[in-house]
Amino acid sequence: MTSQKKKAPSPGRESTLFVSALNLRVHPHKTPLVYVDLFEEAYKKKRSVSVLGDMHLQLSGGVHEITKGKPLEGIRGEIAKFTNIDPSKPFYDIETEREAEYSELKGVEQFDRVKPNYTSFQYIFYPETHLFFFETKCGKRTLSPALVEKFFVRLFSLPALVKKFGRVDITVIPKTEKLDEIKALHLKKLEITIMRPNSDTLHEFEAEVLERMNVENVSKLYESRTAQKNMSIQPTSETWNLAAVAVNNGEVKAEGKDDQGQVKKESTKQHPMTESQKYYPKNTLPFIVLENLAGRMTQKVMEFRSRIKQAASKDD
């Protein structure tokens, strides 16, 4: 008899995980461990934050070390997304087409604790690079980088957290090539906004920018350029260096025309860096995919930082 080969088991349905990133900055801090304390304290608040109408986000599942006993190698957790219903407001009965009677609302008080439309998104945060990576899409689950930025801005603005940690600046990490696309335009307007950079990962030019902000006692630096009539802006290398600092520490906005004469309006904030990877949930945990993508994206961010450092050095 001829033996038949066993058919390999099906890996199941393929999924695609999308990941984006934020740059977080606490000013000042003596050690990156302050970021671990920040997340632990923020989680303990058990505070949900409205980011879009009734849509709320909340840190969930605790704050865990990726490698036990080594928090600086990374921490992980989840962001819960749900609809926050106010049980004190009127409820509509779709059968009677009127406001529901109080006697019909048995159990509504549970909405104080139980929330509908729940989904969760995993995150990884690396304290030494200040980079926060999070799931933005997988299947029907979606969470935009802009909403995550808004969530943390509002969460870290809680008085108790501000009192202990001070101001926390947050920037959505944009596509690294977006600044090059802006440079290629025939510019009519250029706007550069810089929030305070990380004090412990600075190259020389960033250090000069931070020192300037410290001397002037400012938390935000804004500069703009507008072209003369029928002319294009010709930014100096120093202006482009400022723009490079703003990419991961603020925003660069531009208006101009491309080589085909098409009017373009660009903003680094509107083009978040997003990486994706296909995987089989039956064989691979989503966290492993998230960790792989975080490593790939960290390399891109570090290469960009190295590039602007070299560009600034050439101008010295």
The residues pairing with 172 across neighbouring beta strands, listed in sequence order, are 22
Task: Kindly tell me if the per-residue pLDDT of 88 is higher than 60.
Answer: yes
Element (H, E) at 238: helix 237-249
Round to whole Å and give the CA distance between 81 and 54. 10
Burial 208-246, CB ≥16 within 10 A → b, else e: ebbeebeeeeeeebeeebebeeeeebebeeeebbbbbbb
Alpha-carbon distance of 23 to 34, in angstroms, equals 15
Cα dist from 102 to 105, 108, 111, 112, 264, whole Å: 5, 10, 15, 17, 56
> Is 148 in contact with 57 (CB distance < 8 Å)?
yes
197 vs 147, which has greater pLDDT? Answer: 147
**Residue in 240, 245, 159, 179 with CA at minimum distance from that of residue 207:** 245
pLDDT of 279 above 70: yes
Look at residue 27 and tell me whether its pLDDT is greater than 90.
no
Long-range CB contact pairs, 137-140, < 8 A, 24+: 137/16, 137/17, 137/18, 138/15, 138/16, 138/17, 138/18, 138/286, 139/15
pLDDT at 299: 95
Section 89-114 average pLDDT: 77
Half-sphere exposure of 201 (CA within 13 A, CB side): 22
Helix (H) or strand (E) holding 274, with range, is none
Question: 106: part of which helix (H) or strand (E)?
Answer: none
In this prediction, residue 107 carries a pLDDT of 65
User: Is residue 196 within 8 Å of residue 213, measured between CB atoms?
Assistant: yes
> What SS3 state is found at 49?
strand
What percent of the chain clears pLDDT 70, i.e. is strictly above it? 91
196 contacts 169 by C-beta, under 8 angstroms: yes
The answer on pLDDT for 314 being more than 70 is no
**179 is written with which tokens?**
């600044």
Q: What is the pLDDT of residues 242-253, one digit of tens each?
A: 999 999 999 999
Give the per-residue pLDDT at 86.
Answer: 82
pLDDT at 312: 62
- Cα 144 from Cα 126, distance rounded (Å): 20
Q: What is the pLDDT of residue 186?
A: 96
Amino acid at 143: L
pLDDT digits (tens, 9 = 90+) for 175-184: 989 999 999 9
Average the pLDDT over 264-284 and give the result: 95
Condensed to tens digits (0 to 9), the pLDDT of residues 143-156 reads 999 999 999 999 99
Flag the least confident range among 76-85, 141-150, 210-219, 247-256.
210-219
- Tokens 């260096």, residue? 241
- Higher-confidence residue of 29 and 8: namely 29
Would you state the pLDDT for residue 307?
A: 79
Higher per-residue pLDDT: 193 or 116: 193
Task: Say whether pLDDT at 1 is over 60.
Answer: no
Is pLDDT at 206 greater than 90 in this prediction? no
Boundaries of every domain in the chain: 15-172, 178-271
Structural element, H or E, at residue 171 = strand 168-172
Average per-residue pLDDT in the chain? 90
State residue 92's pLDDT score. 81
Q: Please tell me the predicted confidence (pLDDT) of residue 52.
A: 96
Write the pLDDT tens digit of every residue in 33-78: 999 999 999 999 999 999 999 999 999 999 999 999 999 999 999 9
Q: Is it the case that residue 6 has pLDDT exceeding 80?
A: no
pLDDT of residue 197: 83
